[in-house]
Structure 1
């Protein structure tokens, strides 16, 4: 029997992940008392009818949660086939989700949300440290979370706990606050000053050709690819699981879109990384007119 422990921060998407795993054929149980976890694994293995199961375990287990570390160590010693999936999100995202749903954090009590989240991170640190898969849902849509779970548990692809967002933007609208790496491509030829090209975007081939003229664009991309290919495995080695690469031009409509698309195309060949692309400001000039 294959067993997955689904855990992580409150508000990071564990309930949704369990429902998705159920759709993938897992027998799912949420919030099972820790005292019954080991017994469940034994009964499920003996019965033979359950081929794959997922247990949702989190901070709701209270003081019993401390017992889970010993249980997992025992499973490892006996060779039980289990994996730990940890769902995470940054503090700002978790706070926003709690405020939107008007739910109270299980450790916040009458205090502030951020203090409850801080306590929860400390109590779950041992699970995140030994997790087989860490998915940061801060930037993920529901369908993108499903794709990552399918990649791990259905398609059996390699997974390096890294999800990359390629983001184009316009400097005049501000640098994205969540950007980890920012690249300024305002040195490239600007289609905005060509009247026939101005209404188009970096999604159009004629814009891409214009931006790439003269060879400077390709030289930049070659250096960018080399840098990103060097950084990714090193980020993963240091435990980073969420990377936002922002590419900016003046308005976020032409040059940044073309370069971001090129970088996305380059990274799409790496099946070990989750990846998506967003064009934050591509339509803003039209909306302002």
Structure 2
């Protein structure tokens, strides 16, 4: 008889980035959840899950720097889980320094790594400690601009659909460089080299969701050639990401203001990728900013 398949999600990341909200969302999805499990207990915990003989087949564990001196054993613990046949994904949560500082001040809690009164010192040290772990993560969520409900929705989107979760999930995100690059993007493409609708007064107040802007952007031979070449590159890359165990890919498409060129191209790329039977979501991060049209888009 085949062993029951066990899905395990390790929730980790920066303190104050929303790990508690994420684990609550997974608990609502039927995951067996444990907060602040010491990493050196992972192998024993895995044994208990296997011994349940399928009664517990979805598990979410919050493991972070609160584990203190035991945190350094996480890599060995993850390796032992693989040897036990437990499928393990790492969900890494992060946010900007400014956001984390604001959240700590609002909660009036001390950062676990801050020996002094400066919260920033603890955040800086924690980022350094988590650099390698972030690189191993299957999924990364930047919670800087997310409410607790929006974070919950993203977690449910990633883990709540059993059949779709077997496919690569792709988020194509348009953004404006003047507002900063998305921190959770795996791939970034700068399309500011393409003709800009901003300089047409009739197109300036519109967005890449409007047909006149789409016609302007896509009428350029350079745009059409870029789309073909970049889509060809993505078709080459994505299967290799899947082979390496990645299940969620965030593709950032950026122009100056995030309203015209990036929106048009993000929509086109998402539609093309969806035809490949990937689970594709389109997000336009900055489309509603500066609607007065005073900045180049």
Q: Do they superpose with TM above 0.5?
A: yes
> CA RMSD for the aligned pairs?
4.1
Please name the residue that 1:221 is paired with: 227
Structure 2 counterparts to residues 52-63 of structure 1, below 5 A: 52-63=58-69
What secondary structure does 1:175 align onto? helix
* Change in 2 beyond 3 A, CA 1:55/1:154: farther
Question: Which protein has the larger Cα radius of gyration, Structure 1 or Structure 2?
Answer: 1
TM-superposed deviation, 1:225: 3.2
The superposition leaves residues 154-194 of structure 1 with CA deviations (integer Å, 9 ceiling, x where unpaired) of 6332448x754222x4xxxx733226432126626678345
What secondary structure does 2:178 align onto? coil
TM-superposed deviation, 1:35: 6.0
Contact 2:208 2:263 in 1 (8 A): yes
* Change in 2 beyond 3 A, CA 1:269/1:68: same
* Change in 2 beyond 3 A, CA 1:228/1:109: same
TM-superposed deviation, 1:28: 0.7
Aligned length: 272
Structure 2 stretches lacking a partner, 5+ long: 183-187
What secondary structure does 1:202 align onto? coil
Please name the residue that 1:109 is paired with: 115
**1:17 and 2:25 matched:** no
Please name the residue that 1:263 is paired with: 269
What secondary structure does 2:195 align onto? coil
Structure 2 counterparts to residues 263-282 of structure 1, below 5 A: 263-269=269-275, 275-278=281-284, 280-281=286-287
Structure 2 counterparts to residues 188-203 of structure 1, below 5 A: 192-194=200-202, 200-203=206-209
Distance 1:88 1:123 in 2: 14
Please name the residue that 2:31 is paired with: 26
TM-superposed deviation, 1:124: 4.1
Structure 2 counterparts to residues 35-46 of structure 1, below 5 A: 36-46=41-51
Please name the residue that 1:209 is paired with: 215
Structure 2 counterparts to residues 27-106 of structure 1, below 5 A: 27-34=32-39, 36-48=41-53, 49-77=55-83, 79-89=84-94, 93-102=96-105, 103-106=109-112
What secondary structure does 1:98 align onto? helix
Please name the residue that 2:185 is paired with: none
Distance 2:134 2:196 in 1: 43
**1:147 and 2:157 matched:** yes
